[in-house]
């Protein structure tokens, strides 16, 4: 889904350049990568996600954002689908500092980036305690949680609850997919 541009630049050059662009771009550490549109299913899952986070974080010091704000991780700029931060941010800024939990909703074209590249970047960012990759075609998630100096990965499926002790909330997986029409599972997955 991403279309890479051919010009090489520094992080500072990218941030300055991006301010003048109409489209959103991520920065892969070398050049801008244009972000293209998502599916209706992706959008609905993300809307459910942000609503679930907002409801549970109301009155707490943490707050949810996404998908129009960026984070800087490992010298790269990413626009997660959603994130939670517990650090006050400048309301007029577009960069969220110190994300604690980061969410991506997987797409077929972005799978490698989300599962490998972003995982490595998020692991290298000390403030990020949990990385949640939500599936788009079935109720499920791959979750990576920081435990001391290592990351533990595990899967969640329908009927499970996503627990996020670092922000003091939990959400049933089914809530992220409420009202979402999912394709039937292939016979081999049943």
pLDDT band of 189, cuts 50, 70, 90:
low
pLDDT tens digits along 35-69 = 876 789 999 999 999 999 999 999 999 999 988 89
For the residues 65-77, what does the mean pLDDT come to? 92
Question: 33-42, 78-87, 108-117: which has the minimum mean pLDDT?
Answer: 108-117
Per-range mean pLDDT, top range of 12-16, 28-32, 141-145: 141-145
pLDDT tens digits along 116-166 = 899 999 999 999 999 999 999 999 999 999 998 899 999 999 999 999 999
For every residue of the chain, DSSP letters joined together read --EE-S----HHHHHHHHTT-SS-EEE-SSSEEEPPP--HHHHHHHHHHHHHHHHHHTTSS-EEE-SS-BEEETTEEE--SEEEE-S---TT-SB--SEEEEEEE--TTTHHIIIIIHHHHHHT-TT--EEEEE-SSSSEEEEEEEETTEEEEEEEETT-EEEETTTTEEEEHHHHTTT--PPPPPGGG-
Question: With 90 as the cut, is the pLDDT of residue 3 above it?
Answer: no
Question: With 70 as the cut, is the pLDDT of residue 70 above it?
Answer: yes
Q: Give CA–CA dist 104/68, Å, rounded.
A: 13
pLDDT tens digits along 19-29 = 888 888 889 88
């Amino acid at each position: 889904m991403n279309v890479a541009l051919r010009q090489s630049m520094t992080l500072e050059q990218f941030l300055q350049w991006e301010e003048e662009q109409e489209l959103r771009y991520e920065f892969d550490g070398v050049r801008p990568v244009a972000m293209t549109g998502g599916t209706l299913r992706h959008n609905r899952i993300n809307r459910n996600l942000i609503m679930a986070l907002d409801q549970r974080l109301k009155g707490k010091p943490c707050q949810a954002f996404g998908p129009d704000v960026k984070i800087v991780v490992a010298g790269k700029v990413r626009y997660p689908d959603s994130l939670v931060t517990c650090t006050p941010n400048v309301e007029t800024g577009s960069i969220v500092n110190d994300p604690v939990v980061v969410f991506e909703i997987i797409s077929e074209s972005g799978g490698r980036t989300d599962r490998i590249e972003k995982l490595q970047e998020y692991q290298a960012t000390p403030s990020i305690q949990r990385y949640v990759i939500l599936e788009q075609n079935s109720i499920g998630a791959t979750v990576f949680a920081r435990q001391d100096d290592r990351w533990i990965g595990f899967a969640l499926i329908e009927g499970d609850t996503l627990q996020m002790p670092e922000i003091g909330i939990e959400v049933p997986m089914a809530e992220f997919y409420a009202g979402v029409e999912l394709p039937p599972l292939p016979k081999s997955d049943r």
